[in-house]
Structure 1
Amino acid sequence: MSTLPDNSVTLGRRQLFMLPTRFGLLFAALLVVQLLAAINYANGLAYALTFLLGSLAVVSMLYTHRNLFRLRLAAGTSAPVFAGEAASFRIHLTNDSDTPRFGVAVMHDKKEIARVDIPARGSADVSLGVPAVKRGLLTMPAVTLTTRFPLGLLYSWSRRVTLEQSCLVYPRPAGPTPRQTRAVESPEPQSGLRAGGDDYIGAREFQPGDSPRHVDWKAVARGEAWRVKQFGGGYQATVWLDWDTLAGLDTETRLSVLTRWVLDAEHDGMLYGLRLPRQTLNTAKGEEHQHECLKCLALFGLKP
């Protein structure tokens, strides 16, 4: 089995194994009985039929082995998921030969996850779902390729193939949790915009004295915490999500709550920053900033 620079694995002869299936054993027993009958009755047609069927079995052995030989496996990208969800690993199977491959099965933990046909000079993709139990980096498990092509008389399989691929698992978000900050959230001016106006700039926690007109009643109806919509053209609500505001909670609970706050701040269109022990991410917003914040939370305290 050779490993190429692009993190792909090509199956060689020494990594493939073969054994007869149950039907193959029955077929072999049938040939023995038929051969004995031909010898006993000195029947030329019986000899011819026996050797013809035996030749088919020998040829099928060659095709069964070739169906996996020189197949190339490569790992595709894996999108981040939250703890408790299923990570999806993509396996790219490439056939560099001029012969199509039929009935190639991909096995994981002794279970078939997919069966594909791969055309000559073509490829096929297979998705492997793995439960993401805890945050961090989830490595792709080993897989095995098997086939019974063409007659089902022989079963060929490969060694366990491990591809260097991992999936980032974010902490599981906590339920709706009132956001706590060291300082009151404040609007921050954006350059080039005129102050004043009625543009929606985000939401903050409800405080006594706030106008009921600005309460986000849709969120309240969903059972979420009471929040107040903020308006003001040319300004952007800014908030710091601070580890130290969650004193008294254990590490995983803090990470879970901070994950919820990051998602809420991004949903509300706020500028938000993240403060962790020995690590700070400056205020920003957008999918890339959200990913960086969640990545810091996912890898917090884990060994590289």
Structure 2
Amino acid sequence: MAAGNAGALRGAAERWLFGARAVETAPIHLGQRRIYVLPTAAGWVFALVLLVMLIASINYSLSLGYALTFLLGGVALASTVHAARNLLDLTIRPGRGEAVFCGEDAVFRLLIDNPRAARRPALALRAHGRETVFELAAGDGAEIALACPTARRGEFAIGRTVLETRWPLGLARAWSVFTPATTCLVYPAPEADPPPLPVDRAADGTRLRSGGEGDEDFSGLRRFRDADSLRHVAWKVVARGGPLLTKQFTGLVGADLLLDSAALPPSLDLEAKLSRLAAWLLAAERSGCRYALVLGGTTIAPGRGELHLHRCLRQLALFRNVPSGTRDA
């Protein structure tokens, strides 16, 4: 609890001191003016110990005490320089962020290059209260993934990001603050237990029926007919000495499925409606049928497949009560 409070206070102090940077274009270069260095808690304790040693050496005229005090002080100062140099001249470029559902972690990827012929150990990348620890080889780069929690749908930016190090002794913390231009899309969280698909609504106004012969969900066995496909024969039953039976499947047949936000119960609020539509989109895609989406004044024509699914989910994620009359075919 104390560590969490300390981290929150440190974050608030950094925001007050350094403010919120505007989104920066790539590549982001960490020059000398962008690196800040301060003692850590261990560094302040170390400084206090050195002060006590210096006072004791003065009080008792200890030559070896002076030598040890100044030696340790020099080591501490050298570690501060090395901490700053561990970040100097690094280059950051934003990577690709994949879409996720609300409540899942959004994974942001940053490409960090080390142009210097020396490795960069003990680096840490922080954003939205999450941290990823890594190191870079000499003259090499790496793609660093940082998982951040999501709490609402829409476009989610990584925002204010901190790259820091406490190498080599942990007595000083060197860090740099930047805002890379990387975002990801957060879809509405699908309803946990949605009602069945509205199979009575079709995109062309006709009734969409279910329960016919399809190849989606297993529904039972019936006696074999001469016209039945051999691949649907229940061969396991035959192998046990049973009769020749055919496996039956049910699937959605008929016209294209229509998912219309206006047909949802008015008792549901906007987020609940979007959550139900997200669950229905996933179910419709699994069923293999074609489906259309009507949301507000926007219509997405019938289709299926991964690209069509993400197109519909994107519409849910970015929905902001758009004016009616817009048609997206």
State the TM-score, normalized to the length of structure 1.
0.72
Q: Separation in 2 of the partners of 1:117 and 1:135?
A: 33
Q: Separation in 2 of the partners of 1:34 and 1:89?
A: 48
Q: Separation in 2 of the partners of 1:260 and 1:48?
A: 71
Give the drift of 1:81: 1.4
Stretches of structure 1 lacking an aligned partner (at least 5 in a row):
188-197, 204-210, 215-227
SS in 2 for 1:65: helix
Tell me which residue corresponds to 1:171. Answer: 188
Q: Separation in 2 of the partners of 1:242 and 1:63?
A: 61
Q: 1:57-76 counterparts in 2 under 5 A?
A: 57-76=76-95
SS in 1 for 2:316: helix
Say which of 263, 282, 299 aligns to 1:245: 263
Q: Separation in 2 of the partners of 1:289 and 1:296?
A: 11
* Equivalent pair of 2:112/2:142 in contact (CA under 8 Å): yes
Aligned partner letter, 2:250: K
Say which of 182, 185, 208 aligns to 2:208: 185
Q: 1:94-173 counterparts in 2 under 5 A?
A: 94-108=113-127, 113-159=131-177, 161-173=178-190
Distance 1:72 1:229, change over 3 A: same
Aligned partner letter, 1:127: A
Say which of 287, 292, 315 aligns to 1:268: 287
Tell me which residue corresponds to 1:292. Answer: 311
Tell me which residue corresponds to 1:37. Answer: 57
Identity of aligned residues (%): 34
Tell me which residue corresponds to 1:222. Answer: none
Distance 1:63 1:212, change over 3 A: closer
* Equivalent pair of 1:93/1:123 in contact (CA under 8 Å): yes
Instruction: Choose 71-80 or 244-253, whichever is displaced more.
Output: 244-253
SS in 1 for 2:256: strand
* Equivalent pair of 2:110/2:145 in contact (CA under 8 Å): yes
Distance 1:302 1:69, change over 3 A: farther
Tell me which residue corresponds to 1:207. Answer: none
Instruction: Choose 65-74 or 25-34, whichever is displaced more.
Output: 25-34
Tell me which residue corresponds to 1:190. Answer: none
Q: Separation in 1 of the partners of 2:39 and 2:89?
A: 21
Q: Separation in 2 of the partners of 1:35 and 1:75?
A: 51
SS in 2 for 1:24: helix
Are 1:281 and 2:300 counterparts? yes
SS in 2 for 1:290: helix
SS in 1 for 2:194: coil
Q: Separation in 2 of the partners of 1:253 and 1:63?
A: 53
Count of aligned positions? 266
* Equivalent pair of 1:35/1:46 in contact (CA under 8 Å): no
State the TM-score, normalized to the length of structure 2.
0.68
Q: Separation in 1 of the partners of 2:313 and 2:272?
A: 14
Distance 1:280 1:152, change over 3 A: same
* Equivalent pair of 1:105/1:114 in contact (CA under 8 Å): yes
